[in-house]
Amino acid sequence: MKRVFVLASILLLSACIFGGGDSGTGPRRPGAPHSKPHLKAAKSGIPTDAETRQCYASLNRKRVEFRSLPDRGTPGSCSRIGTIQLLDIGTPVTNLGAMRCGLADRFVNWVRYGIRPAARQILGSDVVKIESFGTYSCRGIVGNGTASRLSEHAVADAVDIAAFDLADGRRISVLEGWNSDNQQVRAFLRVVHRSACKRFSTTLGPEYNSAHRNHFHIDMGGGHFCR
């Protein structure tokens, strides 16, 4: 019975997604989600329209500039559902593509209340640019041998952060800074990592495995994991 229901939901969802009629990727007004109200019966983890609307409102309150993106793909495979692209959050961030709105909303808070204050307090300089390795990517999990499970990147619910450029000209990278001789640099990266652990479901860094020696991976998948 349950299986039939899930199947029906997926079919309904596919019909809506590929049924078309969705257009426009311009800046969004509050309360105007991109997708039609058809995601109510979606698989767990897929944002509902109501959640996406609330998320837009939250970003608007923070004076964040963003654009909503059209839904692509189906749950259970590579998909971008309820995603946006951050255009201006006050600090330039490179390589930001599609992100689920909830991830983007938390990411803004991390930058503003975690990363920037930490740089000022510990390194005595402002972060003027954050270097990302990207967000959406249709692939399995890397670094665990067999890539049997889809990465959270494959549903646009993850972002990889590699380095922080400071106003004084320094570039603090996860690769060179994590085990740096400079105590302040080490402390800064650890504070930023800990701050991510408080805000996101999963935070992975150089202590997790060698695939993460050069970036922090953060995502909003199920459970909680911080390493």
* Contact flag: residue 193 with Zn ion (CB under 5 A): no
In a 3-state reduction of DSSP, which class is residue 109?
A: helix
Q: Is 217 in the site for Zn ion (CB under 5 A)?
A: yes
Per DSSP, the three-state class of 108 is helix
157 binds Zn ion (CB under 5 A): no
CB of 5 to Zn ion, least distance (A): 32
Would you count residue 160 as binding Zn ion (CB under 5 A)?
yes
C-beta closer to Zn ion: residue 166 or 192: 192
Q: Which is nearer to Zn ion, 13 or 161 (CB)?
A: 161
Binding mask 25-44 for Zn ion (x = CB under 5 A): --------------------
Class of residue 49 by CB neighbours under 10 A (exposed 0-12, middle 13-18, buried 19+) = middle
Decide if residue 165 touches Zn ion (CB under 5 A).
no
Give the shortest CB-12-to-Zn ion separation in angstroms: 31
Q: Rounded to the nearest whole angstrom, what is the least distance from the CB of residue 211 to Zn ion in the complex?
A: 9
The two structure tokens encoding residue 132: 């990302």
- Nearest residue by C-beta to Zn ion? 217
Would you say 118 or 161 has its CB closer to Zn ion? 161
What is the radius of gyration, based on Cα positions, of the chain? 18
- Residue (13 or 196) nearer to Zn ion, CB: 196
Please tell me the distance from the alpha carbon of residue 28 to that of residue 66, in angstroms, as a whole number: 7
Q: Does 100 sit near Zn ion (CB under 5 A)?
A: no
Q: State the DSSP string of 2-58.
A: HHHHHHHHHHHHHHHHHH------SBPPTT--SS-S--TTPPTTSPPHHHHHHHHHH
d(CA 3, CA 133): 37
Give residues in contact with Zn ion (CB under 5 A).
Answer: 158, 160, 217
